[in-house]
């Protein structure tokens, strides 16, 4: 959940914990088991909260620590668990450690918690190496001495407001273990680990060419990471009840990815291969196969993710000619989009993901079928990806627009019934068709489809643990069985198809056409016993 955009409880146009608490019944009715909160800690919001100034408190914009504790309890009473975001790779430049590092000067213990280095060149005017920030520009920023002359440089794989922590330093390890305990002690059921494969750096900080990266990579997927996650797992296992570790791991090699999911490391990690996959039957099937094959040897639960707060919403992706997702391919020239087609495919994708073996992550607004907002006024944009790429990347604000709850025009009840505060990002007026309240009343809405699918997913024993069995299917059709009694059929071909013999139709993403499954739609079937 991206709190800032979920629901506003105090009428200032910014989502907050009071807003979430008021909407917990909505989440229960939707059928979710857990909520992952993106960072809710005090933060200057240089990167939507992923620049954490204090890991043990709540940003005043969102509420108080006491309120978070209450929320955790209220959610638990409704059968919903809370997962918090842990950001170990970097903190905010406002974090007391970084402030202390700046004032303590070169060679200090305080600076050793980060990556401070002298610059190259005669006057140290060049960055220590050629690394680029993931958000664009150099990964180094130079500090200033008190007399105004240039000082050491510090490393930031993301924005300059997010200095990287030095994981070779013991303080850094101890601090994060303590932060984990802090939140586990407050009843959170798990942590989502931000940028989980980036923590360790080659301390010689060599130059490198990203298109021709050496192994081991100087800052990604380094072997030292596993020992840290083993210690986190031991810490989590020391608590009663389930305490789950979820990795944000973008790695192209499924085997390297699966190493993080060995039985004594993380429980699970986001499946970005599947998220990035184009809407093509062979590719989807291959991604599902590769996912299951990578998870099986380590006995980990697979995950299925279609959207999150970092990527173009899938209603929009699936409505384009090029349906895959790739950060590098994002452009400020808005590709043509057919939202009706995208929505139709998103409905089918919901039935696909919700019947695959594993855990499904739903990004807020996905259940309403929200598209990416691609025409936000430049003046409203906040994402450093937009600014640091000099606008060549439109940034991620378009998937972070405040949700439409009810009513016929913006702000669509975002700040409560009748409140008129302007949401922190403007909502399109076309969202009048997509409000939660409006959709709850319509059987054919995306919201009703998600509710129905989640209800059936809970009640069907076949959809719990247990493998998937591919079924023979015509070209362009993806079909699989779960257990003896369940089938999912997804038609990505251009024409309607006959359904396999079945005992009952459980759910369809589109009305059938004379008993046939139309193009870009999916069904759940009960097989003959």
Neighbours of 65 (CB within 10 A): 15
Measured distance CA(361)–CA(423) in Å, rounded: 25
What is the DSSP-derived secondary structure letter of residue 31?
A: T
Q: Which of 1, 14, 172, 522 binds Ca ion (CB under 5 A)?
A: 14
Q: Which of 10, 141, 143, 231 binds Ca ion (CB under 5 A)?
A: 10
Residue 3: CB minimum distance to ligand NOJ, A: 13
- Interacting stretch for Ca ion, rule CB under 5 A, among 11-19, 63-71, 163-171, 517-525? 11-19
Burial group, residue 489, by CB count within 10 angstroms (0-12, 13-18, 19+): buried
- Treating both helix axes as pointing N-terminal to C-terminal, what angle do 446-459 and 339-353 enclose, rounded to 10 degrees? 10
Q: Which of 59, 194, 273, 366 binds ligand NOJ (CB under 6 A)?
A: 194
- For every residue of 434-485, DSSP letters joined together read G-HHHHHT-TTSHHHHHHHHHHHHHH-GGGSSS-EEE----TTEEEEEETTT
Residue 73: CB minimum distance to ligand NOJ, A: 27
Residues 296-315 that bind ligand NOJ (CB under 6 A): 309-310
10: partner contacted, choices Ca ion, ligand NOJ, none (Cβ within 5-8 A by kind): Ca ion
Residue 23: CB minimum distance to Ca ion, A: 13
Specify the DSSP element, H or E, that contains 294: helix 281-295
- Interacting stretch for ligand NOJ, rule CB under 6 A, among 42-50, 144-152, 278-286, 479-487? 42-50
Structure tokens at 435: 């409000």
Structure tokens at 40: 């809710």
Residues 463-522 that bind ligand NOJ (CB under 6 A): none
Select 164 or 367, whichever has its Cβ closest to ligand NOJ: 164
- Interacting stretch for ligand NOJ, rule CB under 6 A, among 44-52, 296-304, 344-352, 444-452? 44-52
Measured distance CA(250)–CA(497) in Å, rounded: 36
Structure tokens at 338: 């057919």
Residue 520: CB minimum distance to ligand NOJ, A: 29
- Interacting stretch for Ca ion, rule CB under 5 A, among 10-18, 67-75, 101-109, 421-429? 10-18
Structure tokens at 401: 């627009």
Select 115 or 405, whichever has its Cβ closest to ligand NOJ: 115
367: partner contacted, choices Ca ion, ligand NOJ, none (Cβ within 5-8 A by kind): none
- Interacting stretch for Ca ion, rule CB under 5 A, among 4-12, 232-240, 389-397, 403-411? 4-12
Measured distance CA(246)–CA(471) in Å, rounded: 31
8: partner contacted, choices ligand NOJ, Ca ion, none (Cβ within 5-8 A by kind): Ca ion
Q: Which of 195, 364, 415, 439 binds ligand NOJ (CB under 6 A)?
A: 195
Residue 174: CB minimum distance to ligand NOJ, A: 21
Q: Which of 154, 158, 219, 279 binds ligand NOJ (CB under 6 A)?
A: 158
Structure tokens at 395: 């940034």
Residue 26: CB minimum distance to ligand NOJ, A: 24
Measured distance CA(174)–CA(113) in Å, rounded: 12
Regarding 47 and contact with ligand NOJ (CB under 6 A), the answer is yes
Q: 451, 377, 360, 341: which is closest to 29 by C-alpha? A: 451
* 314: alpha, beta or left? (left if phi > 0; alpha if psi -120 to 50): alpha
- Interacting stretch for ligand NOJ, rule CB under 6 A, among 47-55, 265-273, 345-353, 434-442? 47-55
- Closest residue to Ca ion in the complex (CB): 16
Q: What strands, in cross-sheet order, belong to the sheet with 34-37?
A: 34-37, 81-86, 190-193, 244-247, 268-269
- For every residue of 128-197, DSSP letters joined together read SS-PBPTTSSBSEEEEE-TTSSEEEEEE-SS-TTSPBB-TTSHHHHHHHHHHHHHHHHTT--EEEETTTT
Measured distance CA(25)–CA(32) in Å, rounded: 10
Q: 58, 60, 113, 61: which is closest to 85 by C-alpha? A: 58
Select 395 or 481, whichever has its Cβ closest to ligand NOJ: 395
273: partner contacted, choices Ca ion, ligand NOJ, none (Cβ within 5-8 A by kind): none
Regarding 248 and contact with ligand NOJ (CB under 6 A), the answer is yes
59: partner contacted, choices ligand NOJ, Ca ion, none (Cβ within 5-8 A by kind): none
- Interacting stretch for ligand NOJ, rule CB under 6 A, among 43-51, 176-184, 275-283, 416-424? 43-51
Structure tokens at 366: 């996905």
Select 52 or 337, whichever has its Cβ closest to ligand NOJ: 52
146: preceding bond cis by omega (within 30 degrees): no
Site of tokens 């196969």? 289
Select 34 or 454, whichever has its Cβ closest to ligand NOJ: 34
Q: What is the Cα 245 distance to its own chain's centre?
A: 14
The site for ligand NOJ (CB under 6 A) is made up of 47-48, 50, 87, 158, 194-195, 248, 309-310
Q: Residues interacting with Ca ion, by CB under 5 A?
A: 8, 10, 12, 14, 16
């Amino acid at each position: 959940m991206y709190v800032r955009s979920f629901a506003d409880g105090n009428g200032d146009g910014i989502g907050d914990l009071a807003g979430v608490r008021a909407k917990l019944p909505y989440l229960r009715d939707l059928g979710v088991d857990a909520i992952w909160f993106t960072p809710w800690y005090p933060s200057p919001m240089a990167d939507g909260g992923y620049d954490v100034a204090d890991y043990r408190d709540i940003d005043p914009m969102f509420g108080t620590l006491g309120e978070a504790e209450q929320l955790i309890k209220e959610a638990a009473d409704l059968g919903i668990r809370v997962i918090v975001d842990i950001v170990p790779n970097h903190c905010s430049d406002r974090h007391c450690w970084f402030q202390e590092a700046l004032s303590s000067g070169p060679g200090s213990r305080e600076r050793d918690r980060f990556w401070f280095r002298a610059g190259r060149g005669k006057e140290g005017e060049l960055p220590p190496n050629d690394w680029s920030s993931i958000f664009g520009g150099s990964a180094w920023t130079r500090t200033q001495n008190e007399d105004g002359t240039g000082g050491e440089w510090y490393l930031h794989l993301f924005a300059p407001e997010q200095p990287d922590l030095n994981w070779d330093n013991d303080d850094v390890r101890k601090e994060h273990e303590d932060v984990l305990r802090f939140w586990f002690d407050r009843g959170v059921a798990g942590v989502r680990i931000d940028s989980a494969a980036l923590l360790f750096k080659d301390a010689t900080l060599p130059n490198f060419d990203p298109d021709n990266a050496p192994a081991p990579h100087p800052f990604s997927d380094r072997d030292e990471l596993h020992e840290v996650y083993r210690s986190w797992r031991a810490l989590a296992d020391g608590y009663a009840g389930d305490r789950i570790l979820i990795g944000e791991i973008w790695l192209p090699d499924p085997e390297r990815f699966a190493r993080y999911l060995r039985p004594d490391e993380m429980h699970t990690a986001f499946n970005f291969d599947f998220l990035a996959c184009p809407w093509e039957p062979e590719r989807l099937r291959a991604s599902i196969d590769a996912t299951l094959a990578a998870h099986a040897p380590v006995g980990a639960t697979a995950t299925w993710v279609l959207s999150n707060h970092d990527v173009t919403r899938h209603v929009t992706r699936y409505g384009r000619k090029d349906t895959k997702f790739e950060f590098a391919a994002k452009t400020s020239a808005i590709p043509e989009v057919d939202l009706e087609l995208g929505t139709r495919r998103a409905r089918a994708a919901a039935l696909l993901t919700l019947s695959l073996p594993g855990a499904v992550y739903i990004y807020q607004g996905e259940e309403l079928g929200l598209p990416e907002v691609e025409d936000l006024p430049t003046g409203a944009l906040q994402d450093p990806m937009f600014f640091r790429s000099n606008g060549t990347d439109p940034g991620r604000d378009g998937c972070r627009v405040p949700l439409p709850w009810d009513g016929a025009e913006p702000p669509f009840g975002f700040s409560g019934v009748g409140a008129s505060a302007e949401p922190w990002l403007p909502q399109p007026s076309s969202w009048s068709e997509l409000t939660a309240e409006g959709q709850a009343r319509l059987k054919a809405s995306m919201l009703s489809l998600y509710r129905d699918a989640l209800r059936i997913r809970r009640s069907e024993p076949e959809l719990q643990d247990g493998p998937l069995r591919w079924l023979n299917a015509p070209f362009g059709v993806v079909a699989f069985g779960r257990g003896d009694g369940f089938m999912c059929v997804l038609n990505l071909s251009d024409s309607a198809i006959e359904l396999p013999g079945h005992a009952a139709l459980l759910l369809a993403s589109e009305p059938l056409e004379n008993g046939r499954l139309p193009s870009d739609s999916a069904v759940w079937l009960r097989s003959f016993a």
